[in-house]
Structure 1
């Protein structure tokens, strides 16, 4: 049996913040502060029903979007201060017809004593090869821009927060 069809995109940035400081700010960040939407991709408005600390695999929460839809997010791995991964399922928006799940991965690499290189990859598992064909242009344009905006907002966050 062949692996499920997927479509991925990656964004990167360098933050003028030491890796441990940035990671400590990243883990508890309020998603509405950074995931403000782009084009057809709605902003995150709130999260609810969190089951545990966000740096613990298995912890989950419901993500509420500006269009009234929701999705369920679960931490799959956390290696402080270098790596964080999660899976998103139970989409209630039209994505549910195209994707079974989305998987996010964040890498935090030292880029000097006071800087961190960040890489964020998001992979959708499509429901079929046909669904992948419909999903791919959205992921490579609108979803990637949504991620770029979110990553830039993370980098620009006030370190005093």
Structure 2
């Protein structure tokens, strides 16, 4: 039995699939994740990124408002349907809850628009992480809702 927790959020937008994919992949993380939700801090900075974020194997460091950092590696880019990444090397308060995770953004036709999905497969950090996952999951969904609101205001004409 695995302790992994899968979190997913989706929303449909009046955008072409390819346009949604390209624009979201290029969006700056501090713009997308600009507000705290519960214990999940906003992203304040991205460091150590070489060039546009679109080549599998690229890495960068995500800096959170609470001083924590996350190492992100882009693992796949399948234009225009999905891109995936892995988060590891977690420091700061989130380290107590999450040892690592795999994330994915998906893009599929929905009527005349695109359904964008965001998924995290979280590997909890020990007993505390496993116990806290139901609460963390609720906060993650609130954080996702805020990010998807930002997608709407930034990408939808």
TM-score (norm 2): 0.90
Q: Write out aligned runs for 1:81-92 (5 A).
A: 81-92=80-91
Q: Write out aligned runs for 1:95-134 (5 A).
A: 95-113=94-112, 115-128=113-126, 130-134=127-131
What's the offset of the Cα at 1:68? 1.4
Q: Distance in 1 between matches of 2:128 and 2:38?
A: 21
Counterpart of 1:12 in structure 2 is 10
Q: Write out aligned runs for 1:1-150 (5 A).
A: 3=2, 5-36=3-34, 37-113=36-112, 115-128=113-126, 130-150=127-147
Deviations 1:45-82 (A, max 9, x none): 11010145422111010001111111111101110010
Runs of 5+ unmatched residues, structure 2? none
Q: Distance in 1 between matches of 2:109 and 2:63?
A: 33
Runs of 5+ unmatched residues, structure 1? none
Secondary structure of the structure 2 residue equivalent to 1:157: helix
**Conserved in 2, the CA contact under 8 Å of 1:14 and 1:155?**
no
What's the offset of the Cα at 1:159? 5.2
The 1:26–1:41 alpha-carbon spacing in structure 2 relative to 1, beyond 3 Å, is same
What's the offset of the Cα at 1:98? 2.9
What's the offset of the Cα at 1:133? 2.8
- Greater CA deviation, 29-38 or 45-54? 45-54
What is the Cα-based RMSD across aligned positions, in Å? Answer: 1.8
